Amino acid sequence: MEYDTKTPPYKTSDKTSFAYVSARDRWPVIITQAIDDLYRSVSDCDDAAKRDEGKQIIEELASLKYELQHDRKLTRIRTSFSLSTHWKRYDVFARQKIKTFRSSRPAVLELAARYREIVTQMESDKSETGAEHEEAQRILFFEMLEICLWGNATDLSLLTNLTYEDIQKLQGSEARKAAEKNILVNDLGAAYDVLLKAKREGKKERRVDIVLDNAGFELYVDLILAGYLLSSGLATIVVLHPKTIPWFVSDVVPEDFMALLNALAEPKTFYETPSDDEKLQDKTPPPLGDKETENLQFLFQEWGRRHAEGELVLRPRLFWTGPGSYWRLPSTDGELYEDLKNSELVVFKGDLNYRKLTGDAAWDPTTPFTEAIGPLGPRSGVNVLALRTCKADVVVGLKSGEDEELRAKEGGGGDSGARKWAWNGKWAVVSYSEGK
């Protein structure tokens, strides 16, 4: 399309690319999981017409898997559901999303306690001033954004081979501290300055937008961030942008927001009721402590209130699941583009959003981020912050020679021609572009 970057994109036909590995190894597993999920729902269905239609969709998903494995032209999974009568809003990934959130229990409880402590402390410190207080506020911003950044480490599409123990290692405060050195580009300071300036100027509406990525634990940390921004006064409204349809494994749809709030509203029921797997293994989850229950219910009340009062807004849009990159935004969805200009900061979460910002193109890794995002760069009217743990080839904004150093590390790709260091979520970039 005429609005896309002229830099060639990565392709699934390139055997040195993550796209090739993903299409060959990950996609068949994901489709198999979707088939298994739908089969369970069809088996539990009492409506004959709905059951028969569900069986037909299962057959179509099986055909899609065959087409994928035999290099045929592919249809989108969503087509089978959208053309149905009884399954239009069915999310084949919903069961997996909530299961993974439940398995993130230790990190969920840790952050709930920390969040409640922070919010309570900020309320009592509102009259505090001075350089020391200001520095503490800045450090807190960095910590909250880094929590949000590494929350992406539990992207469900990369969990096909991870155990429960592996998930725990990717979460928690100690893991975050150890991972700070792995943020290759860190523009958090510039983003903080933008929000602080708007607050000091006393702007009546200070809006932050978050273009969401994954449900489950990552959506949870996104809400932690949103609540923090509102409590700190760095924002007066936070607009969350979910997908309109279940798109790729763990992508957030509006129903995921409500499912998460329902889990927090009745945390003992959610965490103490044995799952199907636990029933098969005759296991009983440990009970929540009273304090843990109170902390989770505090989150429910806090976020529920802010949502009811219009401070926390969900704004799904078809554009986020459209074809092509975000280079097309100004030309294909001018209404959304103009709306984002009203935001002090638009935070794009995760790997896919980063790839769509940069056109998923084979940029030289030293290319400035402001150049790689094209029409959303300088003078676009949109302040962009990308929070991304690297899980695919495209990366920009690195220092000269940095990519080569990372490739030379164990597992980094070496002379294979592949940028393997950027595939595993160990490294991250936090890139900012001032558009105003």
More confident residue, 83 or 397: 397
DSSP helix/strand/coil, 240: strand
Question: What local confidence, expressed as pLDDT, does residue 126 receive?
Answer: 72
pLDDT value at 162 more than 50: no
Lowest-confidence segment of 64-68, 102-106, 408-412 by average pLDDT: 64-68
Mean predicted lDDT score pLDDT of the chain: 89
Question: What local confidence, expressed as pLDDT, does residue 71 receive?
Answer: 75
- Indicate the helix (H) or strand (E) that contains 314: strand 312-314
What are the structural domains, with CATH classification, of the chain? Answer: 18-90 (1.20.930.60), 103-433 (3.40.50.10880)
pLDDT per residue as tens digits for the range 236-249: 999 999 999 888 78
Q: How far is CA 305 from the centre of its chain?
A: 23
Are 22 and 28 a contacting pair, CB within 8 Å? no
For the four alpha carbons of 83, 44, 102 and 28, in that order, the dihedral sign comes to negative
Q: What is the pTM of this model?
A: 0.89
Query: Cβ contacts of residue 250 below 8 Å, gap of 6+?
Result: 93, 96, 97, 100, 155, 156, 157, 213, 214, 215, 216, 218
Categorize the per-residue pLDDT at 313 as very low, low, confident or very high, splitting at 50, 70 and 90.
Answer: very high
Tell me which residue of 299, 288, 229, 240 sits closest to 264, measured CA to CA: 299
Q: How far is CA 298 from the centre of its chain?
A: 23
Q: What is the mean pLDDT of residues 59-72?
A: 84
pLDDT per residue as tens digits for the range 319-336: 999 888 999 999 999 999
Q: In the structure encoding, which two tokens stand for residue 125, read together?
A: 């410190």
